[in-house]
Amino acid sequence: MAFDDITAGFAPVSGRLFTRVAVFDLETTGVDVANDRIVTACVGVLDETGEVIESHDWLADPGIEIPAAAAAVHGITTERARAEGRAARQVVGEIVEALGALFAAGIPVVAYNAPFDLSMLKNEAIRHGISPIADPSPIVDPLVVDKRHDRYRRGKRTLDIVAAHYGVPLDDAHEASADAIAAGRVAIAQARRYAAELPGSVAELHEAQVAWAAEQAESLSQYFVKIGKIAPGETIDGSWPIR
């Protein structure tokens, strides 16, 4: 799926963190990035105001049953995926191609809780004999940014809650296009709110998030040990943006 008109001639503007952002989200058969499968996906591009410039959506037949619990979240049943979805290998290949073109152009890709979506995509690519995106960059993960710059805020940090915190509407949560676009708009809102604190380029922001995610995982590991959720010596994987 080509984004030729979007990527042609793209260049960042000095002094502005985002002049254009891509967005990416998956809905899946479950949360196991090694064994679950992609059901729906969205890759799009927003301008610096959050308006959608381009958006592409996919529905795949994942080749396995979609559990009722997953279907209840995103609304896609096994029957619908088989009837309306395209072959998983074709869908995965097109997603990899679209993201690859955006990365090659230097357009930052926003993915909320990036290690889930990017690790799922990597494993799906390998499963179908497609070369995965080994080092996706630059990535912007609004969850990591939010935890870094508003670390003491209480409550959950699911996308719907974080979007509301930044004044971003999300009317159809767990629909790939709605989630992707909302995450992109949250990233844009964060860039405005934390302009004085964030790095000055997307490349520097990407590298900063690697460190922030590791620190956040270490802090969460310590908390989980304290409450007995994991054993002493166990840790949460803080690899970012892909595991």
Write out the two tokens for 220: 């969460």
Q: What's at 69, amino acid-wise? A: A
Tell me what percent of the residues of the chain surpass a pLDDT of 90.
91
Nearest to 241 by CA among 99, 130, 105, 42: 99
φ/ψ of residue 61, rounded to 5:
-85, 105
Q: Cα(162)–Cα(130) distance, rounded to whole angstroms?
A: 34
Whether domain 4-201 has CATH 3.30.1370.60: the reply is no
- The confidence band for 2, taking pLDDT boundaries of 50, 70 and 90, is low
CB 10 within 8 A of CB 20: yes
Q: What count of residues does the chain have?
A: 243
Cβ contacts of 124 within 8 Å, gap of 6 or more: 37, 38, 88, 92
Task: Tell me the domain boundaries of the chain.
Answer: 4-201
Handedness of CA 102, 9, 52, 165 (dihedral sign): positive
pLDDT digits (tens, 9 = 90+) for 6-64: 888 888 888 889 999 999 999 999 999 999 999 999 999 999 999 999 999 999 999 99
φ/ψ of residue 229, rounded to 5:
-75, -30
Residue range 72-80: average pLDDT? 97
- State in Å, rounded, how far the first CA of the chain is from the last one: 25
Which residue, chain included where needed, has tokens 């990535």? 139
Cβ contacts of 203 within 8 Å, gap of 6 or more: 137, 138
Residue range 159-175: average pLDDT? 94
Q: What's at 199, amino acid-wise? A: P
CA-derived radius of gyration, the chain: 18
- The confidence band for 111, taking pLDDT boundaries of 50, 70 and 90, is very high
- The confidence band for 1, taking pLDDT boundaries of 50, 70 and 90, is low
